[in-house]
């Protein structure tokens, strides 16, 4: 049953001005424990170690995605008239709930637990939880419908395109929000113009040719944000060290190390077994930081050293991997100085193209409605985007190791 509230709730937001909530079910989801937990997870993982104001949470981002989705269904005529009331509620809820499954420190934690946040999001919506119960109270089939938008199996593909396509509410919110909170200007683009020029044609979300320049700007914003913020070597160093600490903790768990008895909430994440929804709810960034504080006093010198380094920002230095034998040379040097290279010589590789359409993969493509009425894939309509698609994809491989090669 779709109940509206007596009065519209408005929440202040620096990106959208206000977030508007009219529906009871949306308000109940916002006030549920799984959503409130997202206030304890930063949106940008280790980026706060580079951009000190990048402390915004997944909660504020989730509200922002909801607000863009709400504006889409209310302000874009094709969606306002073309979607049923039930589809509108479903897609707004999918926008609000799409990040529920995130663990602490974003994607770094996924590599530790080997679970993807999408799977966990799905489980929180479908298995008993406060969010699930709120959805069922509104309509017993709502959990399944919302989950199907998130995993792209909903019969109306436009709903998934709105949340995670190419011109989607998720990306539009995080680029603007991350640019605002890091203080970088690269992520800015004209959201109002894109929303004004969005249409639905042939079951696709398309942008009118007159809005194409703002879409080009948005694609460029993605490109700059990736290299300046998301792939910054310092936040990658933080994330690599976090992964290294968890590898050490897994090793300690295998040996039943007594120090871990004081940190029972970490235990489920230290074996390769499945993690329950309840374990997931208890795991957030304050819990991790408390754990790191306790580990400072650990008898295990590696765990104690890495935990202290993460808390005090004594991060490893980074070096581009450019020549053969470089890794081996560093490995020998570290061993000579008494460092265990398994935990003290780390590496990663990132690769990114701001836009890469794949034939047959609808979600990877953005579409432009030309003045002639023809629909073209974005790189066929824009010379700037065409150049980006045809250029080399940029990749960056780095090694990380302690700044002073003295023994801990
Ligand atoms: Zn998101």
Query: How does pLDDT run across 87-130, given as a tens digit for each residue?
Result: 999 999 999 999 999 999 977 788 777 778 889 999 999 999 99
What's the gap in Å between 395 CA and the centre of ligand 1?
23
Q: Average the pLDDT over each of 20-29, 343-352, 398-407 and give the range with the smallest value.
A: 398-407
pTM of the model: 0.95
Note the pLDDT tens digit of each residue in 131-168: 999 999 999 999 999 999 999 999 999 999 999 989 99
Q: Which residues of 342-379 are buried (b: 16+ CB within 10 A; e: fewer)?
A: ebbbbbbeeeebbbebeeeebeebbbbbeeeeebbbbb
What's the gap in Å between 124 CA and the centre of ligand 1?
16
CA distances from 251 to 196, 272, 338 (A): 54, 12, 19
What's the gap in Å between 408 CA and the centre of ligand 1?
39
What's the gap in Å between 290 CA and the centre of ligand 1?
26
Residue 407 has pLDDT above 70, yes or no: no
Read off the tokens for 231.
């792939």
What's the gap in Å between 237 CA and the centre of ligand 1?
23
Average per-residue pLDDT for the chain: 93
What's the gap in Å between 59 CA and the centre of ligand 1?
10
What's the gap in Å between 174 CA and the centre of ligand 1?
7
What's the gap in Å between 262 CA and the centre of ligand 1?
33
At residue 408 the predicted structure's pLDDT band, cuts being 50, 70 and 90, is very low
CB contact set of 162 (below 8 Å; sequence gap of 6+): 69, 72, 79, 91, 95, 168, 169, 205
What's the gap in Å between 194 CA and the centre of ligand 1?
19
- The pLDDT score that the predictor gives to residue 273 is 83
- The pLDDT score that the predictor gives to residue 73 is 97
d(CA 207, CA 375): 9
The mean pLDDT of 351-363, rounded to a whole number, is 79
d(CA 150, CA 247): 31
What's the gap in Å between 345 CA and the centre of ligand 1?
31
3-state secondary structure of 23: strand
Structure-derived torsion over alpha carbons of residues 202, 203, 208, 209, reported in degrees to the nearest 10: -60
d(CA 195, CA 173): 12
What's the gap in Å between 209 CA and the centre of ligand 1?
27
The mean pLDDT of 283-305, rounded to a whole number, is 96
Residue 406 has pLDDT above 70, yes or no: no
- The pLDDT score that the predictor gives to residue 110 is 81
- The pLDDT score that the predictor gives to residue 186 is 83
Note the pLDDT tens digit of each residue in 34-54: 999 999 999 999 999 999 999
Note the pLDDT tens digit of each residue in 219-251: 999 999 999 999 999 999 999 999 999 999 999
- Size of the chain, expressed as the number of residues it contains: 408
What's the gap in Å between 329 CA and the centre of ligand 1?
40
Ramachandran angles phi, psi of 327, nearest 5°: -65, -40
Residue 19 has pLDDT above 80, yes or no: yes
- The pLDDT score that the predictor gives to residue 5 is 81
- The pLDDT score that the predictor gives to residue 405 is 62
Read off the tokens for 305.
């050293």
What's the gap in Å between 261 CA and the centre of ligand 1?
34
| Count of CB atoms situated within 10 Å of the CB of 406 | 9
């Amino acid at each position: 049953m779709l109940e509206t509230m007596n009065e519209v709730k408005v929440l202040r937001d620096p990106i959208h001005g206000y977030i508007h909530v009219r529906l009871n079910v949306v308000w109940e989801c916002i006030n549920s424990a799984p959503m409130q937990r997202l206030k304890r997870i930063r949106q940008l993982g280790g980026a706060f170690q580079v951009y000190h104001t990048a402390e915004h949470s997944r909660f504020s981002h989730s509200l922002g995605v909801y607000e863009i989705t709400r504006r889409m269904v209310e302000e874009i005529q094709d969606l306002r008239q073309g979607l049923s009331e039930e589809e509108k509620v479903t897609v707004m809820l999918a926008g609000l709930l799409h990040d529920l499954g995130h663990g602490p420190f974003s994607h770094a934690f996924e590599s530790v637990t080997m679970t993807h946040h999408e799977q966990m999001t799905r489980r929180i919506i479908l298995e008993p939880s406060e969010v699930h119960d709120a959805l069922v109270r509104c309509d017993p089939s709502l959990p399944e419908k919302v989950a199907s938008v998130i995993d792209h199996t909903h019969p109306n593909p436009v709903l998934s395109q709105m949340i995670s396509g190419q011109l989607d509410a998720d990306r539009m919110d995080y680029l603007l929000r991350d640019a605002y909170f890091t203080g970088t200007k690269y992520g800015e683009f004209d959201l109002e113009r894109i929303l004004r020029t969005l249409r639905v044609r042939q079951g696709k979300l398309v942008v009118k040719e007159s809005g194409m320049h703002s879409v080009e700007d948005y694609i460029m914003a993605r490109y700059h944000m990736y290299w300046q913020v998301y792939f910054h070597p310092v936040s990658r160093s933080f994330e690599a060290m976090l992964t290294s600490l968890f590898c050490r903790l897994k090793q300690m768990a295998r040996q039943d190390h007594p120090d871990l008895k004081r940190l029972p909430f970490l235990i489920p994440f230290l074996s390769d077994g499945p993690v329950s929804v309840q374990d997931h709810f208890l795991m957030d960034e304050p819990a991790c930081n408390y754990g790191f504080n306790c580990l400072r006093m650990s008898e295990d010198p590696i765990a104690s050293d890495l935990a202290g380094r993460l808390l005090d920002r004594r991060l490893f230095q980074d070096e581009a991997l450019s020549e053969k034998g470089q890794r081996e040379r560093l490995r020998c040097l570290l061993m000579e100085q008494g460092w265990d290279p398994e935990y003290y010589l780390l590496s990663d590789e990132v690769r990114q193209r701001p836009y890469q359409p794949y034939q047959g993969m609808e979600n990877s493509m953005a579409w432009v409605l030309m003045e002639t009425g023809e629909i073209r894939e974005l790189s066929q309509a824009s010379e700037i985007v065409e150049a980006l698609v045809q250029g080399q994809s940029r990749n960056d491989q780095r090694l990380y190791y302690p700044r002073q090669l003295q023994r801990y």
